């Protein structure tokens, strides 16, 4: 735990008051009584009113909305101060390795690098060149092909296959911006969690969360060259073809199909059994059970009609 007075001094926020021990950074809704949070958008006002955070980084004009049990840390740049705070709680990367806790009948190549406190289930196979970071858990019957990298605290389920060059738990892409235009890293202090029976293709990347988890749920299959952004929740039994890109905080229901080179903007939901056709661009939340295409993605039949009309207009113009 780290004292609130130390944190505020480090990030340049004026605070003279009761000392509190802070254990981490979290969202307004998920923050516990020993965590710090931030408020920088009116769309989260309902979350602010009920937050249990010990302290909240917030502009002065909103300070009266902070619950009585929460300390308002006044700043005109709450998002930037969040970035600075995230660094304080970032995981310290070290090169010191350790011996994993191994289950029965594992086949582990000698040319593997393990971090500390790694736990591996039964019948796991790991090929040459893999790196398994600190506090990683790998479930039984899972196969890692050569040169897979699994960052610290990631969780891999049972009966998974992860192909060469895949990276699980790398940092999500998040920055706060100063008034001078500098980009300040928001340290990604969450984890990446892979369910059971998931297959991840070659050279895929699954980012860890800013807070909480990035999740790929059981039964989902990823082709090669796919990116899953931080804090996304990929539902059960999804299918994704090559070069799909999922932006941060995307929530996909179960049995969603995403064809080649399709993608999503962030902070949206796609319902169960939806299909996004090749190169479809999802810019807003979509209902399940339908086929979508185009950019921005609309129902596929409508998109085909639109293309036909555009083609007809071009013919008429000639």
For residues 221 and 198, is the Cβ–Cβ distance under 8 A? yes
Residue 230 to residue 247: CA distance in whole angstroms:
7
Computed from CA positions of residues 33, 39, 44, 49, in that sequence, does the dihedral angle turn out positive or negative? Answer: positive
CA pair distance 37, 189, nearest whole angstrom:
13
Residues 234, 229: Cα–Cα separation, whole Å = 10
End-to-end distance of the chain based on CA atoms, in angstroms?
Answer: 72
Contact partners, residue 302, CB within 8 Å, separation at least 6: none
The residues, ordered by sequence, that sit 6+ positions from 29 with a Cβ below 8 Å of its Cβ are: 47, 50, 51
Cβ-count burial of 124 within 10 angstroms (0-12 exposed, 13-18 middle, 19+ buried)? buried
What is the maximal distance between C-alpha atoms in the chain? 76
Report the DSSP pairing between strands 2-3 and 21-22: antiparallel
Contact 58, 78 (CB under 8 A): yes
CA atoms within 13 A on the CB side of 163: 12
Q: Which listed residue (163, 230, 267, 300) is catalytic?
A: 230
230 included as an active-site residue: yes
- At 62 the three-state DSSP class reads helix
SS3 content of the chain, % helix, strand, coil (to 5): 15, 30, 55
Please count the residues of the chain: 318
Residues forming a β-bridge with 191: 213
Catalytic residues: 230
């Amino acid at each position: 735990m780290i004292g609130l007075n130390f944190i505020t001094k480090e990030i340049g926020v004026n605070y003279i008051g009761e000392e509190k021990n802070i254990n981490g950074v979290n969202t307004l809704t998920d923050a516990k009584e020993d965590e710090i949070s931030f408020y920088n958008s009116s769309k989260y006002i309902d979350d602010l009113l009920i937050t249990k955070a010990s302290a909240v980084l917030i502009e002065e004009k909103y300070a009266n909305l902070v619950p009585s049990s929460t300390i308002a840390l006044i700043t005109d740049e709450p998002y930037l101060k969040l970035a600075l705070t995230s660094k304080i709680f970032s995981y310290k990367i070290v090169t010191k390795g350790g011996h994993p806790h191994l289950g029965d009948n594992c086949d582990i190549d000698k040319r593997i690098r393990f971090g500390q406190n790694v736990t591996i289930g039964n019948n796991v196979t790991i090929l040459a060149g893999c790196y398994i970071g600190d506090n990683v858990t790998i479930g039984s019957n899972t196969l890692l092909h050569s040169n897979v990298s699994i960052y610290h605290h990631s969780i891999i389920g049972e009966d998974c296959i992860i192909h060469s060059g895949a990276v699980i738990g790398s940092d999500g892409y998040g920055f706060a911006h100063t008034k001078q235009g500098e980009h300040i890293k928001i340290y990604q202090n969450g984890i990446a969690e892979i369910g059971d029976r998931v297959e991840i293709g070659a050279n895929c990347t699954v980012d860890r969360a800013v807070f909480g988890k990035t999740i790929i749920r059981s039964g989902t299959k990823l082709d090669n060259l796919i990116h899953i952004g931080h804090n996304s929740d990929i539902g059960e039994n999804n299918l994704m073809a090559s070069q799909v890109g999922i932006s941060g905080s995307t929530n996909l229901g179960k049995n969603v199909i995403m064809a080649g080179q399709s993608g999503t903007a962030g902070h949206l939901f796609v319902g169960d059994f939806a299909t996004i056709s090749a190169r479809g661009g999802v810019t807003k939340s979509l209902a399940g059970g339908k086929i979508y295409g185009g950019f921005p993605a609309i129902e596929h039949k409508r998109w085909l009609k639109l293309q036909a009309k555009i083609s007809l207009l071009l013919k008429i113009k000639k």
